[in-house]
Amino acid sequence: MKNYVSYQQVHLSYGISGKRNQSQRFTLAILRLLVVSVILVCYFLLDRATSREFLLLIITAWLLSFVIVCFVAKNRSFSVWLSNKRYLELAFDEILIFIACYYSGGLHSPYILTLYLPLLVHAIAPLSFQLLAVTLVTMVNLFLLAVTGTPDWPLFVHHMTAILLGTAFINILVYNDLRIITAYAIHDGLTGLYSYRYFWDQLRGMMEPGSQIKTFSIIMIDLDDFKRLNDDHGHLEGDRVLREIADTIKANVRDSDLVARYGGDEFAIILPGMGYERCRSVVDRLSKSIVELGYFDHVSIGAALYPEEATTAEELVNLADTRMYRDKHRSKHPAYPDPPPVTS
């Protein structure tokens, strides 16, 4: 029975959980700049009769969008901060959309479909307060356009119905499909553990400014002589052993710990909030449990702590990998000194 503290689960998929990675944040900033640029070009080509106030506001919005793109691209801390302040992004986008539509015809504006852009961005997120808030803000925006311009209530009802049905349709279909695709993408097909790429995504995400996880440990595991087991008993037996070992590892860590298949016969674990002593206890328990399965006489294991021993994901993994390599060396050559440190 597990008697250690259970931490909040952290192994949520980026994107599917609503948390955006750097690439997604930059892409959204570029798309915002592109939309404003299109509106600005349309003004000079088609809408010159529109007031100069509109031109001034759109130029201001373009400059702000350009500054956001530059900061997101160059300043990772700002990018993370902005991502955590979704309401600021939403407010900026909704105000921009309202201005573009208000000055170009209200409900009859050629830009009216931009009302749906925030919904498309947020509709693939899980059903949540965030999605509800975006839907309500969009509906309020639509209502303001209806009452401040020439009233056209049938058109207003049509747009309102499209917003409600469209949001539900996109969320149900796209989110469910995305969840299935993500499940395949982030899991190892053989063991059901998390994948190598997902391990790195989560590890880097935990080190980002603003992360709720302030300290954690990682453990690297290598199955000594697994190749010999494959050669002696065949690959199907080797696959079965890998699945059994994966289950054994999961049974000896917390539900909040992230267990990944790092390579062919290597595994990696992230243990949020765990310091040296408790990590050492987990290492001993894992080594004993895997050896007791009877397939290997020794399992090489290395561990490292963040932020005490490393400041980047690469340094942390390299340190744990080095210690695992030394453990393997000691088991095979007990009479010889440790090998020189492994460098990246």
Place of tokens 């808030």: 133
- Percent of the chain at pLDDT exceeding 70: 85
Place of tokens 């899980």: 126
Taking the C-alpha atoms of residue 14 and residue 178, their distance in angstroms, rounded to an integer, is 12
- Whether residue 40 sits in one domain with residue 169: yes
Q: Are 91 and 135 in contact (CB under 8 A)?
A: no
Residue 255's CATH number:
3.30.70.270
Q: Give the β-pairing of 216-223 and 299-306.
A: antiparallel
What pLDDT, on a 0 to 100 scale, did the predictor assign at position 23? Answer: 78
Last-in-domain residue among 121, 156, 186: 186
Taking the C-alpha atoms of residue 304 and residue 25, their distance in angstroms, rounded to an integer, is 30
Domain of 260 in residue numbering reads as 196-332
Average pLDDT over the chain, rounded to an integer = 83
Within-domain flag for 255? yes
Does residue 49 register a pLDDT over 60? no
- Whether residue 229 sits in one domain with residue 133: no
Model confidence over 137-167: pLDDT tens digits?
Answer: 999 999 999 998 777 889 999 989 988 887 7
Within-domain flag for 116? yes
Helix (H) or strand (E) holding 222: strand 216-223
- Whether residue 43 sits in one domain with residue 148: yes
Within-domain flag for 140? yes
Within-domain flag for 73? yes
Model confidence over 117-134: pLDDT tens digits?
Answer: 888 777 655 556 777 888
CA 82 to chain centre: 15
Does residue 258 register a pLDDT over 90? yes
Q: What are phi and psi of 90, to 5 degrees?
A: -65, -45
Higher pLDDT, 245 or 68: 245
- Whether residue 44 sits in one domain with residue 133: yes
What's the angle, vertex CA 290, arms to CA 289 and CA 291, rounded to 5? 95
Q: Label residue 39 exposed, middle or buried (CB < 10 Å: 0-12, 13-18, 19+).
A: buried
Cα–Cα distances in Å, from 331 out to 268, 290, 328, 342? 20, 16, 5, 17
Within-domain flag for 8? no
Taking the C-alpha atoms of residue 147 and residue 279, their distance in angstroms, rounded to an integer, is 62
Mean pLDDT score, 227-232: 88
What pLDDT, on a 0 to 100 scale, did the predictor assign at position 318? Answer: 96
Does residue 291 register a pLDDT over 90? yes
Q: What is the pTM of this model?
A: 0.60
What pLDDT, on a 0 to 100 scale, did the predictor assign at position 309? Answer: 94
- Whether residue 100 sits in one domain with residue 167: yes
Place of tokens 């553990």: 193
- Whether residue 163 sits in one domain with residue 41: yes
Last-in-domain residue among 186, 207, 235: 186
Assigned token pair, 28: 């959204």
Within-domain flag for 77? yes
Model confidence over 186-199: pLDDT tens digits?
Answer: 899 999 999 999 99
DSSP state of 114: G
Within-domain flag for 191? no
What pLDDT, on a 0 to 100 scale, did the predictor assign at position 328? Answer: 87
Does residue 5 register a pLDDT over 50? no
- Whether residue 135 sits in one domain with residue 67: yes
Residue 261's SS3 state is: strand
- Whether residue 318 sits in one domain with residue 270: yes
- Whether residue 221 sits in one domain with residue 172: no
Q: What is the number of domains present in the chain?
A: 2
- Whether residue 66 sits in one domain with residue 44: yes
What pLDDT, on a 0 to 100 scale, did the predictor assign at position 104? Answer: 83
- Whether residue 328 sits in one domain with residue 222: yes
Residues forming beta bridges with residue 268, ordered by sequence position = 220, 260
Higher pLDDT, 258 or 125: 258
Within-domain flag for 17? no
What pLDDT, on a 0 to 100 scale, did the predictor assign at position 50? Answer: 61
- Whether residue 328 sits in one domain with residue 219: yes
Last-in-domain residue among 186, 207, 241: 186
- Looking at the chain, how many residues does it have? 344
